[in-house]
Structures are given as C-alpha cells and as structure tokens.
Amino acid sequence: MSTPTITSSSKESSMTATLSDRRATKRLSKQLSFNPGRPAWKEPASPLYGTIKAIIIGGISLSIVIPLLLVISTSLADDEQLIAAGGFVLWPTHPSFAAYQAIFSGEFMIRALGVSAFITAVGTFLALFITITMAYATSRPVMLGRPVLMLVLFTLLFAPGLIPMFLMVKQLGLLNTVWSLILPGTFAAFNFVVMRSFFMNIPTELIEAARIDGASDFMILRKVVLPLSKAVIAVVGLFYAVGFWNAFFNAMIYINDQTLYPVQLVLRNYVVQGGSMAEAIGVTSTPPPQSMQMAIVVVALLPILIVYPFLQKHFTKGVITGAIKG
C-alpha cells in the first residue's frame, strides 16, 4: 500500500467517519510515518553490499559494547571464575559484589563519590543559572546585548591558556577547595549558543503579550520562557552535568588534598597510572586488583550510562541538530 492512498483516505475519514475509524487511520499513518520502509524507487541492497554494511555496523557496535561489557562483567565476576578465565570475563557466572565492597570499605572512595556528586550537582545548577540568564538577555534586542554577545563568541576563538588560568584560580584563593572544580566550568559558549538559539525561536508575540499584561523581564523569563524551554534546559543541563562528572584535569592541578579527589582523578591515579590501590583505599584483604580496577571504572561509568538515555532522547528530538542547522 502506498502512502498517497492513506493520506487521501484519512482526509475522507476526517470528514465523514466515526471516531474509531479516525483512530484507526491515525494509528496507521503513525505507523507509516514511524517506519516508511524502503521507498519504491530504491533498489534493495545487493547481497555483497548488504553483507559489507552488516559487517561494518556489527563491528562498530561490538567495538563499543565489548569493552563496556568486559569491565562490568569482570568487576562482578567472583575469584574462581576470574582465575579460571585468566583475568577477564565477558559474562559473570556467579555475580559477586566483593570488588565493590572492597573499594567502598575505606572512606576514600565514598568521599570521592561524594565530591563528584557535589561538584556535579552544584556546578550544573550554577551553570544553568548563568547560561539561562545570559542566553535570554542576549536573545532579545536589548541595550548592550550585542557587545555582550561578542564577548561570549570571542571565547570560541581564543583561550586564555593554562598558566594564567591557574594563577587566577590561585589568586582567588580557590586552590585546594571544591570551588576550583566548580566555578571555572560554570559557563560554556557551546551550551550558551544552543540555549540562545532556542530562545530566539520563541515567538516574540508571546513575550510581548506577557509584557502588555504587566510582566517584568524576570517574570517573563520565569513564567513564559522557562516553561517553553524544558527540553533545551534538560539537554544543556545534562551536558554540563556530564562535563562536571567527567572533569579530571582541573582536579589534578588545583587539588592536592586527597580527601577532595573526585572519582575521575581516582580512576586516573589508580587505574590508568596503576598506583597501589589497596594502600590508598585502606583495605587489607583484597579481591584481585583487576576486578577492583574494573569496579572503579564502573563507578565512573555508571552515572553516564544512567543519564545517557535521557540525554539521547532529547538530542535526537532535534534540539541540538536544530541549533546546528541554525
């Protein structure tokens, strides 16, 4: 059945038919728009081409899935299976949380998790506040809007450099505090641009209508603009959150105090650099180091895997690609 027939019948039905008829047509056209299938003019793939494509897609998928599966499974595997398999397993036969119990037995890892959670939560909140206010104020033709916009866009072209940033953070007295991990990351021009182009697409009429009803700019932002922008706020917020969670370099240069280490720095010091974990974490009897390393990897990975479906749902909705297309 071809698409034109459906659309014409749906037109007829909307004029004459009963409610259930209309529902059926709606469901059918929804199915069709969800998966239009192969267009009539497109020839089916030749066996060779189809096989090559399947191999490429399969290979790429496996290259992403296998490492993730490997670390999760190995972190959950028990000693016997690990020894039998020679260090790595792709599926834990008897899942055990011994490795997690070990890394969380000292205060070290719990603190690191706390620090990461704190900088992610507070940082995302501050970053959203700064980005939303700035993006809204420059999205309307107001006094000084254009020069301020230029101030932001210039940051895309040039970076102040590592050393001057370090000296600035030091000058502000933020060294060895969590604020050195939060404040420098509370604004990103990329997120600003995404947010601003979304605000610019909000019809001026809505805003003017609110103004005529006596709303102030603050009130318009809160009562009109923000409720319309939930999707973009979610995406930008998640971008910031992922950024804060993933940051390790700031911690590496600004933090000396081990009790302020975020998870990523622990991961770097004890997995990538292979430092002795048992000592730092303060555990005496340990499961194999392999599974403890894997457990730390999973602790750093899991929050991303958890928020990813939400993130993905929104950016495929077109918030980001819409912004890219301008």
Partner 1 sequence: MSQMQEETVSRIASADVSGTAPDRQRTPGRTSGKRRPLAHDVPLRKLSWRTRLGRDWQMLLMMVPGVAFLALFFYIPILGNVIAFQDYQPFLGISGSEWVGLQNFVDLYFNPDFWVALRNTIVLAVWQLVLFFPVPLGLALIVDSLVSNKLRRWFQSLVYLPHFLSWVLVIALFQQVLGGAGLVNNTLRDLGLDTVPFMTNPDTFPLLATIQLVWKDAGWAMIIFLASLASIDGSLYEAAAADGAGRWRRMWHITLPGLRSIIVLLLILRIGDILSVGFEQFLLQHDAVGAGASEVLDTFTYFAGVVGGGWSAGAAAGLAKGVVGALLIFAANKVAHRLGEPGIFQKKVGS
- Residues 201 and 238: their CA atoms lie apart, in Å, by 21
**Secondary structure class of 136 (helix, strand, coil):** helix
Pick 6 or 242: Cβ nearer partner 1: 242
Pick 17 or 234: Cβ nearer partner 1: 234
- The minimum distance between CB 15 and partner 1, in angstroms, equals 29
Pick 121 or 151: Cβ nearer partner 1: 151
Pick 5 or 16: Cβ nearer partner 1: 5
- The minimum distance between CB 18 and partner 1, in angstroms, equals 31
- The minimum distance between CB 2 and partner 1, in angstroms, equals 13
- Residues 117 and 134: their CA atoms lie apart, in Å, by 25
Pick 16 or 44: Cβ nearer partner 1: 44
Q: Around Cβ 133, how many Cβ atoms within 10 Å?
A: 12
Residue 142 tokens, joined:
């107001």
- Residues 48 and 65: their CA atoms lie apart, in Å, by 25
In sequence order, which residues have a C-beta less than 8 Å from that of residue 211 and are 6 or more positions away? Answer: 220
Instruction: Write down the residue that tokens 């605000």 correspond to.
Output: 199
Pick 15 or 30: Cβ nearer partner 1: 30
Q: Around Cβ 154, how many Cβ atoms within 10 Å?
A: 10
| Angle in degrees, CA 183, 187, 192, rounded to 5 | 170
- The minimum distance between CB 125 and partner 1, in angstroms, equals 12
- The minimum distance between CB 54 and partner 1, in angstroms, equals 10
Residue 190 tokens, joined:
């990329």
- The minimum distance between CB 17 and partner 1, in angstroms, equals 28
In sequence order, which residues have a C-beta less than 8 Å from that of residue 96 and are 6 or more positions away? Answer: 76, 77, 78
Pick 102 or 195: Cβ nearer partner 1: 195
Pick 117 or 130: Cβ nearer partner 1: 130
- The minimum distance between CB 309 and partner 1, in angstroms, equals 8
> Residue 274: which region, alpha, beta or left (left: phi > 0; alpha: psi -120 to 50)?
left
SS (H, E, C) 164-233: HHHHHHHHCCCCCCCHHHHHHHCCCHHHHHHHHHHHHCCCHHHHHHHHHCCCCHHHHHHHHHHHHCHHHH
Contact 237, 196 (CB under 8 A): no
Instruction: Write down the residue that tokens 């992610």 correspond to.
Output: 120
- The minimum distance between CB 259 and partner 1, in angstroms, equals 20
